[in-house]
Amino acid sequence: MNKFPSNSGKQILNVALADDDEDDRLFFQEAIEDISIRTKLSLLSDGQELMDYLNLPNIILPNLIFLDLNMPIKNGMQCLKEIRSNPKLNDVCIAIYSTSCSENDIEETFVNGANVYLNKPNNFSKLRDSIEKVLQINWQYHTSNLNRDNFLLRL
């Protein structure tokens, strides 16, 4: 990161989204752009692509990854487990972004290290609000000395 603290006062939040659905990626992008928090979004179309991206040398790791569960090649759960077993990616927060609202999925992902579980809403403004809340809280965890071990958020 910056060797010198930025004078602008606000850091840019690096966000990644892994989702195989093009429409969803589009919605997400539009929603995140609608939010006042300054972000840099990387879009990835499946799990494998995400893992490859994270393993790029000299990469600026995202602060927050939105992860769809139901993806071809490598699904969200696999990605989650891989990320959580990689010490290098310890600081990355993971938000599950899925249509599934099964309690089982929710609990399993939390147990395996997800920080946020966000159901894909069926309404754009809801999506925007949800993303905004996730970013806000994530921001707090990044900046306010909160215990990241206990960072669980269900939306």
Partner 1 sequence: MKISVKYDLNITCKTILKEQLDKLDIPHLLHGTGEIEIKRAISDEEMQELFNNLNAYGIYVLNDQKTVLVQRIKNTINEMLEDDQLKSQKVSEYLADKLNYSYTYLSNLFSETTYTSIENFVILRKVDHAKDLMADTDLTLTEIAYRLNYSSVAHLSGQFKKITGLTPTKFQEILERRRGTRIQQTI
Partner 2 sequence: MDFKIFRRIAQSPVVDRIALALAIVLLLFITTVLFKQIRDLEVSAEMVSHSLTVDKEINKLFTQYDLMESAEFRSVILKDSTFEASYIDHKLQNDRTFDRLYGLVKEMPYHRRNLDTVSKLKDSLHTTLTALHGKVKPMEADSTAMVYVERAASILKKLRGFKRNMLANNENFLQDKLVTYRRLTFLTPLTTLFLALFSIVMFTIAFFRLRRHKNKIQSSEALLQNIVQSTDNIMNYYEPIYDSNAKVVDFRVAFANICNRDYLNLEPDELLGKPITDVFPFVLKNNELQRMIDCFLENKTIDFERQVTVEGQQFWFHTFVRAMDGGILEVVRNNTEEYKAKENLLRANQELEVQNFIMSEAKKVAKIGSYTWYLDTGEAEISENYYRILGCEPDEFKPSLERYRSFVHPEDLKQYDEYGEWHRAKKEPRDHTYRIISKNGEVKHIRTKGQFIQKDGRTVLIGVVQDVSDQIAAENALRIKNLELERSNVELESFNRVVSHDLQEPLRKIQMFISRIDGEEKNKLSERGRVYFDRIDKVAARMQSLIRNLLNYSRIDSTHDDFEVVDLNSVMKKVSEENAERIKAEEAEIVWEDLPMVHGVGFQLEQLFGNLVSNSLKYRNPKVAPKIRVTSEMVANDQITEEFLKSSKHSFKITFTDNGIGFDNTNANKIFEVFQRLHSKTQYSGTGIGLAICKKIVENHHGYIQATGEKGKGSVFTIYLPV
Per-residue burial over 45-73, b = 16 or more CB atoms within 10 Å of its CB, e = otherwise: bbbbbbbebbeeeeeebbbbbbbbbebee
Q: How many CA atoms lie within 13 A of 28 on its CB side?
A: 29
12 to 41: interface string for partner 1, x by CB under 8 A: ------------------------xx----
Q: Does 145 bind partner 2 (CB under 8 A)?
A: no
Residue 152 lies near partner 2 (rule: CB under 8 A) = no
Our finding on whether 25 is near partner 2 (CB under 8 A) is no
Q: Binding mask 62-91 vs partner 1 (x if CB under 8 A, - otherwise)?
A: -----------------------x------
Decide whether 55 or 136 has the Cβ nearer to partner 1.
Answer: 136
Q: Is 140 left (phi over 0), alpha (psi -120 to 50) or beta?
A: alpha
When asked if residue 140 is in the footprint of partner 2 (CB under 8 A), the reply is no
Q: Across-strand partners of 153? A: 116
**Is 70 near partner 2 (CB under 8 A)?**
yes
Based on the shown chain and the rule CB under 8 A, indicate whether residue 127 belongs to the binding site for partner 2. yes
C-alpha to C-alpha distance for 7 and 23, rounded to whole angstroms: 37
Interface residue list for partner 1 (CB under 8 A): 3-5, 7, 9-10, 36-37, 85, 107, 110-113, 117, 135-137, 139-140, 143-147, 149-150, 152-155
